[in-house]
Chain A
Amino acid sequence: MSATPFEQLANLDRRVHDPARLAILTALSACERADFLFLLGITGLSKGNLSSHLMKLEEMGLVEIEKRFVGKKPQTLARLSDSGRETIEGYWKEMEELRESAASWRPDLVPLPSLG
């Protein structure tokens, strides 16, 4: 028997389910790498928030961070790791499946638990 939408929802990868992390990973999945300034604009996060989310994502091994100097200015670049790319693609695939199963889900088809 296939999982109900509720079970699918409960099984979603919580590391990326947070909207801020999801925005960061989605942006990084559409490019090779992006710098901190771009991620700041596209996600709408504050500098501190973005920085802490990037650190957590790096600790989880989903994102790789590179710091360098362009002239005298420091630049932080982020890119998805291989596992990060798999994770975000898997997440969006699961969400699509969840959307489809939620659309076709009918409460009257769920068997009632036996009381005795």
Chain B
Amino acid sequence: MTTQDRDRIRFFTRHFNDLQGLRYWAPLGLVALSGAACFANPALAFLLFVGAYVLMLGARRYYGATLGEVEREPVAERCSLSVYSPAGPTPRLEGFQQVSPPVQQFLAILGLAFVLVFALQVISPVITILESQVQQSRVTLDAIYEREPSWTRGIGSVTAGAAAFLPPLRILAAQTLYSLFGSLLLSLWLWRERRASQGYLLALALPLLGFAAFGGSLGYFIYEERAAVVDVINALLPTVTNLWVALLFCGVAMILVGLLDHRQLVRALGRPS
């Protein structure tokens, strides 16, 4: 037995449960897609949600019956989760004091992503995006953005003209969603020992985090009024301003992760007779 064999056996034993993609990640992706479908077809959204639940239950039975069961090693050291409390010296959440290292890692990455995105949001130049123009497939930069007076803060201030302004909360929600799913995938990649075989997690996490950062710093880009930049921004604008597009992208990413994890697990453990 080589050290590669040893590492392979250890890796698949240690991550047997979180590699059950059809049980966790694919249903999570379906729930995100169900959220996206809410904007267009509530019946489809309901079907996707029910499908996610059925898949989760079915996959649990499938993995137990075909690949077996592994009980994780107990976490040797749980980490304290410090939370700022304005009420005084109570720096821990009640009932949520101890978290396992992967959860702590996820929360740390998520916190950093949120801070980065909201900091970009605050410091980047203020812009207005008109709703009617966002929905067009091809628009020019001058039509989309109008520079705000310096005293106005935040995206989506009301501007002159007939078009409705884009609600700032919706843009923030899209960025929050990208940050959440991007952080989840990035922390999953770190938790899985940054192995090359898990590179798809990183490959999917980076664009999602990139969209979050891009959405937060749109104001900077409008000052770069070059043709190439304009084209890129015009192409990406619906992605960072529509909540349903964010849900669609995150959902598809999670379903991909689920399928690739499942494929890996089945390949490693074979198909028992």
Count of chain A residues with Cβ under 8 Å from any Cβ of B? 25
Residue in contact with A31 in the complex, picked from B1, B70, B269, CB distance below 8 Å: B70
Is A105's beta carbon under 8 Å from chain B? no
Indicate if the CB atoms of A34 and B10 lie closer than 8 Å.
no
Contacts of A31 in B (CB 8 A): 13-14, 16, 70-73
Indicate if the CB atoms of A32 and B73 lie closer than 8 Å.
yes
Is B270's beta carbon under 8 Å from chain A? yes
- Smallest beta-carbon distance B15→chain A, Å: 9
Is A35's beta carbon under 8 Å from chain B? yes
Indicate if the CB atoms of A26 and B272 lie closer than 8 Å.
no
> How many angstroms between the C-alpha atoms of A37 and B71 in the bound complex?
13
Indicate if the CB atoms of A27 and B13 lie closer than 8 Å.
yes
Is A65's beta carbon under 8 Å from chain B? no
Total A-B pairs in contact (CB under 8 Å)? Answer: 73
Is B69's beta carbon under 8 Å from chain A? yes
> How many angstroms between the C-alpha atoms of A23 and B8 in the bound complex?
10
Binds B, one of A7-15, A38-46, A55-63, A107-115: A38-46
Is A30's beta carbon under 8 Å from chain B? yes
Indicate if the CB atoms of A40 and B9 lie closer than 8 Å.
no
Chain B, residues 71-107, CB within 8 Å of chain A (1/0): the string is 1111000000000000000000000000000000000
Could you tell me which residues of chain A, from 32 to 90, have a CB within 8 Å of some CB in chain B?
A: 32-44, 75, 77
- Smallest beta-carbon distance B54→chain A, Å: 20
Closest residue on chain B to residue A73 by CB atoms: B65
Indicate if the CB atoms of B73 and A38 lie closer than 8 Å.
no
> How many angstroms between the C-alpha atoms of A33 and B72 in the bound complex?
7
Contacts of A101 in B (CB 8 A): none
| A→B interface (CB under 8 Å) | 19, 22-23, 26-44, 75, 77, 92
